[in-house]
Amino acid sequence: MITPDDLVALIRNYNPDCDEALIRRAWEYGDSMHAGQMRHSGEPYFTHPVAVASILTEMRLDDATIVTALLHDTIEDTRSTYAEVERLFTHEVAELVDGVTKLTNLQLTAGEPGPDEGKPGKPSPQAKQAENFRKLLMAMSRDLRVILVKLADRLHNMRTIRSMRPEKQAQKARETMEIFAPLAGRMGMQWMREELEDLSFRVLDPDRRNAILRRFITLQRESGDVIARITADIRFELEKANLDGTVYGRAKKPYSVWRKMQEKELEFSRLSDIYGFRIIVDEVHECYQALGLIHQRWRAVPGRFKDYISQPKQNGYRSIHTTVSGRDGKRVEVQIRTREMHEVAEAGVAAHWAYKDGARSVNPFAIDPAKWIENLTARLDKDEDHAEFLEHVKLEMYADQVFCFTPKGDVIQLPKGATPLDFAYAIHTRIGNATVSAKVDGLRVPLWTRLRNGQQVEIITADGQRPQTSWIELVHTGRAKAAIRRSLREEDRERFVRLGRELSRVAFEKAGRKVTDKALDTAARSMALKSGTDLLARIGSAEISARSVVEQLFPETATMTTAEVDAARPVVGLDPDIPFRRANCCQPVPGERIVGITYRGKGVVAHAIDCDVLATLDDQSERWVDIHWHEGRHAAVHAVSLNLTITNSAGVLGRVCSLVGEQKANISDLHFLDRKPDYFRIFVEIEVSDVEHLHRILTILSAESDVAQVIRARDPNRKP
């Protein structure tokens, strides 16, 4: 059995940001719940959930699915309960584990098999089984990941089936052949379908399977390594045309060969295409270029060409299939696809949850789950043949995303938990800003209503409507939050004016001047602005620096060399031998009004004039010291703590750090406060020179679309 470290390493290979603590906690819980339980093989039972989790890492699935695999038998086979799993992990994991449990409890076989049952390739005549399974999927499998865990569970059970009683092996193999293998194929996971079919074939008809394997060995002895030679031939043709591609071949699975023999009523010796080859290229047009090279080198077999790139399968599968008469006249099947198409061909619908380099991989060829489910639903309504339910099964809900419709029928994709306001902003920022109410499926609903899959949403707007501060708590998407904040900033002109006035006061005082309304109006006219108030708003929003306004009015100050202030003694009003430092609670910076407070054994500590701690010292006036910052250029050594909320998207944290660096500020500390599927909350400590420098950084970060919130983190509980 692999260790917890091994499992975490497997997950980190594709998702470096996985929740390691959650994985380890699930491992420990599952191991303790299954303690003392053994498999038929004599191994500890927990080796099975671990193996299932390992299979799911091959599909690069998310943390919740891996945790579900580790816990999928706890509710059914141990003293664990739904409530306990929900409390210790999450509601999402509890729902997934419960869904797998209900799948396991469903009776998928109906008594003893009839005389014709159990033969490979024969569909089950027991429509009642199919109908039961279909009903369960419709009612309980609201999340496709439940099926993925169940399929991985069945795959491991089939790999280790030899330890079971012969009659139990036959029952499981029939169930796998009739239900789980076709389901895997229907979901686009062809590799899993082929392995499940072959493992079932090994149990149900070992003699035929062994006969086919012996024929393969004989053929290889007589003809040599055909696969290696044909692979080399294809690579030669690609290299000659300077086409970069990966080529590999394989013999088809014994069950696939046997099925072709049955379908075509041919003996093995007369079966032609028992070898398959794949060519993987980078671009779509290169698929057709490779096809031309193959057909130029070998003769194409008429009627054996299929273009699934121009006409994809419903499960998202795209590829070109052609059969040619290859070396020595042997027919071989060649599949040609791009790397992204290959990922979908391997993972099928599961490609939606696949991670790559720590983030959900966005594959343009992955199937749209809403359309896939819609297609299955439509087929289900038209067909009453219960025995073929796997081709028509309906999954009611798509767990982590919702697909809603505009009144015109356009599909809007949103994360789970989105509201009509998110829907409005997803259409256009202008519509979101003007939203006054919404209708869902024709009924008026509050703006905080959570949308569900397949609903039609109509947004009602009004001229003059503006975003409200409370909307930030109503929306779920980073795009909507950022748009609302941008609008609020634009509306909050008065706040910018107040801040601009304070920044101007500091800048003018540094130049030895006094700021007046007349001076501001004069500067505004010279800078082609309407008024001094407009200028203050620009200063407050960091569009214009207060220093540039001073230089505009008093050009001589631009050439003045301002002495750099000693970072060890940045304030005026203290004797040189008195220790001094900034308060940790409020972290004042040059340009902010400060007051000194004496502390026994610590000297004088500078607090911002609006620090909450000062209110507790009103009755200790003897400890107050009048100090202020030195005039001049302060070094960027004054630490300030910030709390940021950023969207969970690739590159966002890097952009935040770059923005800070571009403003000539250093990041001295950074760590995560909270991690959610849609956003991160992070603590950042930066070093600034003065209040203008700090405000410039805050404004630039707030303007970044993927930064939902940035606030200065003052904490009165921090020791001064």
**Residues assigned a catalytic role:** 76-77
Angle in degrees, CA 340, 342, 347, rounded to 5: 100
CA distances to 476, 649, 673 from 676, in Å = 12, 11, 10
Among candidates 105, 103, 137, 109, which has minimal Cα distance to 125? Answer: 109
The structure tokens listed for 408 are: 């015109």
State both tokens at 478.
């980073």
Burial of 405 (0-12, 13-18, 19+ CB in 10 A): middle
Three-state secondary-structure class, residue 315: coil
N residues, the chain: 720
DSSP state of 89: S
Q: Tell me the two tokens of residue 604.
A: 């004088």
Distance CA(541)–CA(43), nearest Å, equals 67
- What H or E segment, with its residue span, contains residue 402? strand 401-405
Please report, to the nearest 10 degrees, the dihedral formed by the alpha carbons of residues 63, 69, 70, 75 taken in order: 120
Q: What is the DSSP string of 193-206?
A: HHHHHHHHHHHH-H
CA 14/CA 26 separation, integer angstroms: 19
**Cβ proximity of 46 and 1 under 8 Å:** yes
Can you tell me the distance from the alpha carbon of 63 to that of 79, in angstroms, rounded to the nearest whole number? Answer: 24
Distances (CA, A) of 368 to 94, 182, 349, 411: 26, 20, 8, 11
Core vs surface per residue 509-548: b (16+ CB within 10 A) or e: ebbeeebeeebbbbbbeeeebeebbbbbbbbbbbebbbbe
Report the phi/psi class of residue 417: left, alpha or beta, with left for phi > 0 and alpha for psi in -120 to 50: left
Q: Which of 353, 16, 338 is nearest to 152 (CA)?
A: 353
Question: Packing angle between helix 4-12 and helix 63-71, nearest 10 degrees?
Answer: 150
> In sequence order, what are the residues at sequence separation of 6 or more whose Cβ sits closer than 8 angstroms to the Cβ of residue 270?
none
Proportion of the chain in helix, strand, coil states, percent, rounded to 5: 50, 20, 35
CA nearest 542: which of 712, 638, 664, 663? 663
Q: Indicate the angle between helix axes 63-71 and 47-58, nearest 10 degrees.
A: 160
Please give the Cα distance from 6 to 635 (Å, whole number).
48
Task: Give 357's Cβ-side CA count (13 Å radius).
Answer: 5
**260: how many CB neighbours lie within 10 A of its CB?**
16
C-alpha 684/C-alpha 669 separation (Å) is: 6
What tokens were used for 381? 């309504």
Token output for 16? 């470096």
